Amino acid sequence: MTASSEGKAAAVAGEQDKIIIFDTTLRDGEQCPGATMTYEEKLQVAELLDDMGVDIIEAGFPIASEGDFESVQEIAKLAKTSVICGLARANPADIDRAGEAIRPAKRGRIHTFIGTSPLHRQHQLGLSQDQVHERVIQSVTRARNFTDDVEWSAMDATRTEFEYLCRVVEAAIRSGATTINIPDTVGYALPEEYFELISKLKTSVPGMDKVVISTHCHDDLGLAVANSLAGIRAGARQIECTINGLGERAGNAALEEIVMAIRTRHDLLPHHTGIRTEMLSRASKLVSAVTNFPVQYNKAIVGRNAFAHESGIHQDGVLKHVETYEIMTPESVGVGKSSLVMGKHSGRAAFKSKLKELGYGLGDNALEDAFNRFKALADKKKHVYDEDIEALVDEGVAHMNDRLKVVALTVIAGTMGPQTATLTLDIEGQSKTVQSTGNGPVDATFNAIKQLIPHDARLDLYQVHAVTEGTDAQAEVSVRLEEDGRIVTGRSADPDTLVASARAYVAALSKLVVKRQKTAQAQQAV
C-alpha cells in the first residue's frame, strides 16, 4: 500500500467510524402531548443543536400546520452547518410541502415514510403489500426531484415480515433513497433482535452497502438507547434521537446517552460523533424549559443527580480518586460547579461575556432586555448563579411574543384569609385590573386571571421548582392547560413564586389565544 492509498483508506475508515447524529427533538419530540414549542422556541433549540454539532436536524413536519412549515423554512434559512430535514408521508402533497420548506437550506433533506407492517398496512392505511410498495417508489422518486438527500423510513419495521421489508427497502434504494431508516416505532424490539434485523438486512438487500442505515428506536420498554447501540454494532451509521429522550409516548433514544456511551465506551464502540459534549447539559435545560418537561433527577448524563455522590463510601472514594465512582467527568457534559457570577454592580460587558460562556448569542435588543432583567433580579437576590441567568434568558425568549402580560400583582396570604389577589394584566395593549379571592394565594391569583380572561381550559399541571438553593432562590413555575384537545404550556421564573405562577399561567393562555385564532382561521378557510 502506498502512503497516499494508506491515507485514503484511513480517511474512509474515519468516515466509517463516524456516527451521524440525527436529532428529531423538534419533530418526534414536539409530537409528544404537551411538549408543543412556539416558533421562537423552535428557532432557539435549532440554533443550539446546530452549534452543538448535530449533523441533521429534523425541524418539523411541514404539512402538519402553517406554523410547522414556517419554522422548518426559517430554520433552513438560519442553519449554519446542520442538514435541515422535513418529514413527509408517502403522498405528493406532503412531499411537495416538505420540499418547499427545506428549499432555503444550504443542505436540505426530505424524510418520507410509510407503515410497512401488517398492522399498519391493514388497519391504518387499508393498503395491500403491492400498494404500499408502489407508494414507496412514487414517494422517494418525487422527493428526489427536490433534493439528492432523501431518507426513507419503514414505519413499524420491527413488526414487518422480513421478506416484505427487504422488498420495500430495495424499492426505496432503487428509487433514490440515500438513507434507509429502520424504526422500532412502538419500542417492541430487544437489542439482540434489532442487531439481527439490521445485520440480516445488510446481507439480504441489494444496494444496502451504498446507503446509510439509520436507527429510530422508541423507549416503550426502556430499550431505545440499547437498541440504537445494537444497531451501530450491526452497521447502522445514523442514529435518530432527541434531547432528554423526548418523543411520542415513552419517548425516543436520548441523544445525550447515545453520544456519551459512544465516547465513554470507545473500547467496545470504536466510533465518534461530531457533538460538542460540553453543550449537552445546556441543551437538556433548554429543551426542558421550553417544553416544560422536567428532567428526572436520576436521568443518565443530564439529571440533577447524575454526578452527585451522597453516600459516605462513594464520597470517600471520589475524594481519593475520582474514577472510583465516576466514568466520565461532569465537565465533559457541561456540568460545572454552580458558580457565583455577578451581583448588582456587574456591568454590561461582564454580563455579555457570561452569556457567551453559557452558550448564548443574543441580538442587541434581546441582550439589553436580558441585562435589564438581570439588574432587577440582582436587586432582589444577593447571589446570582449561572442557573439564574439561564432561567432569565430562556424566559425572555419564551415570552417575547406574548399577547397577554402580567403588569402588577399584589397578594394577601397567611392564616387570616380570605387570600386575595389584585391583578393588572396587559391584554393586547389594554390594561385591566381585578381583585379575586381563592382557596390559598395561588388559587386567588388564578381566579383573578380567569376573571380577566374567561376560559374553560383545564389546569393539567402546576409545578414549582427552585432554580438554585437558598430561600431567595428563583421559583420556576410550569403550567399546562387543556381546552378542546388543545394543549398549551407556560413557564416563568421569579424570586416571587406567585409572580412566576401568574406569568406562567398567563403565558399558557397567550398561546391558547393564538391557537384558538388559528383554528378559527382554518375553519373559515374551509
Distance CA 135, CA 19 (A): 30
| Count of chain residues binding Zn ion (CB under 5 A) | 1
- On the CB side of 460, how many CA atoms lie within 13 Å of its CA? 19
Cβ atoms of 164 and 194 within 8 Å: the answer is no
Q: How far is the CB of 141 from ligand KIV (least distance, A)?
A: 19
Q: Which of the stretches 129-137, 180-188, 259-267, 410-418 binds ligand KIV when contact is defined by CB under 6 A? A: 180-188
Q: How far is the CB of 287 from Zn ion (least distance, A)?
A: 16
Q: Is the peptide bond before 418 cis (omega within 30 degrees of 0)?
A: yes
DSSP string, 321-386: -GGGT-SS-GGGGT-----EEE-TT--HHHHHHHHHHTT----HHHHHHHHHHHHHHHHH-S-EEH
End-to-end CA distance of the chain: 68
The sign of the CA dihedral 506, 509, 514, 517 is negative
Q: Which of the stretches 139-147, 181-189, 267-275, 408-416 binds ligand KIV when contact is defined by CB under 6 A? A: 181-189
442 binds ligand KIV (CB under 6 A): no
Distance CA 190, CA 80 (A): 37
User: Within positions 25 to 54, which residues make up the interface with Zn ion, using CB under 5 A?
Assistant: 28
Cβ-based neighbour number of residue 363 at 10 Å:
8
Q: How far is the CB of 295 from Zn ion (least distance, A)?
A: 20
Distance CA 148, CA 175 (A): 11
Closest CA to 89 of 135, 34, 31, 141: 135
Q: Which does 387 bind (CB under 5 to 8 A by kind): Zn ion, ligand KIV, none?
A: none
Cβ atoms of 155 and 185 within 8 Å: the answer is yes
Q: Which residue shows C-alpha cell 410497512? A: 116
Q: Which does 113 bind (CB under 5 to 8 A by kind): ligand KIV, Zn ion, none?
A: ligand KIV
As beta bridge partners, residue 20 has 238
Q: How far is the CB of 115 from ligand KIV (least distance, A)?
A: 8
What single DSSP character describes residue 439? S
68 binds Zn ion (CB under 5 A): no
Q: Which does 245 bind (CB under 5 to 8 A by kind): ligand KIV, Zn ion, none?
A: none
Q: Which of the stretches 24-32, 131-139, 165-173, 495-503 binds Zn ion when contact is defined by CB under 5 A? A: 24-32
**Helical segments of 399-462, H only:** 441-452
Distance CA 48, CA 283 (A): 7
Task: Please report which helix (H) or strand (E) contains residue 77, including its range.
Answer: helix 66-78
Q: Which does 153 bind (CB under 5 to 8 A by kind): ligand KIV, Zn ion, none?
A: ligand KIV
Determine which residue in the list 133, 135, 142, 216 makes contact with ligand KIV, applying CB under 6 A.
Answer: 216
Q: How far is the CB of 365 from Zn ion (least distance, A)?
A: 37
Output the CA angle 226-228-229, nearest 5 degrees.
Answer: 65
Determine which residue in the list 38, 112, 185, 242 makes contact with ligand KIV, applying CB under 6 A.
Answer: 185
Q: How far is the CB of 292 from ligand KIV (least distance, A)?
A: 22
Distance CA 308, CA 301 (A): 11
Cβ-based neighbour number of residue 368 at 10 Å:
12
Q: How far is the CB of 423 from ligand KIV (least distance, A)?
A: 42
**Helical segments of 242-346, H only:** 255-264, 280-291, 312-320
241 binds ligand KIV (CB under 6 A): no
Cβ atoms of 462 and 482 within 8 Å: the answer is no
Binding-residue pattern over the window 28 to 67 for ligand KIV, x denoting contact by CB under 6 A: x---------------------------------------
Instruction: Rank residues 181 and 281 by Cβ distance to ligand KIV and give the closer one.
Output: 181
Instruction: Rank residues 73 and 238 by Cβ distance to ligand KIV and give the closer one.
Output: 238
What single DSSP character describes residue 159? G
Q: How far is the CB of 246 from Zn ion (least distance, A)?
A: 11
Instruction: Rank residues 54 and 397 by Cβ distance to Zn ion and give the closer one.
Output: 54
Q: Which does 384 bind (CB under 5 to 8 A by kind): ligand KIV, Zn ion, none?
A: none
Instruction: Rank residues 33 and 470 by Cβ distance to Zn ion and give the closer one.
Output: 33
Q: Which of the stretches 23-31, 330-338, 427-435, 500-508 binds Zn ion when contact is defined by CB under 5 A? A: 23-31
| Count of chain residues binding ligand KIV (CB under 6 A) | 9
183 binds ligand KIV (CB under 6 A): yes
Binding-residue pattern over the window 126 to 165 for ligand KIV, x denoting contact by CB under 6 A: ---------------------------x-x----------
Q: How far is the CB of 201 from ligand KIV (least distance, A)?
A: 16
109 binds ligand KIV (CB under 6 A): no
Cβ-based neighbour number of residue 117 at 10 Å:
22
- Contacting residues toward ligand KIV, per CB under 6 A: 28, 113, 153, 155, 181, 183, 185, 216, 218
- Contacting residues toward Zn ion, per CB under 5 A: 28
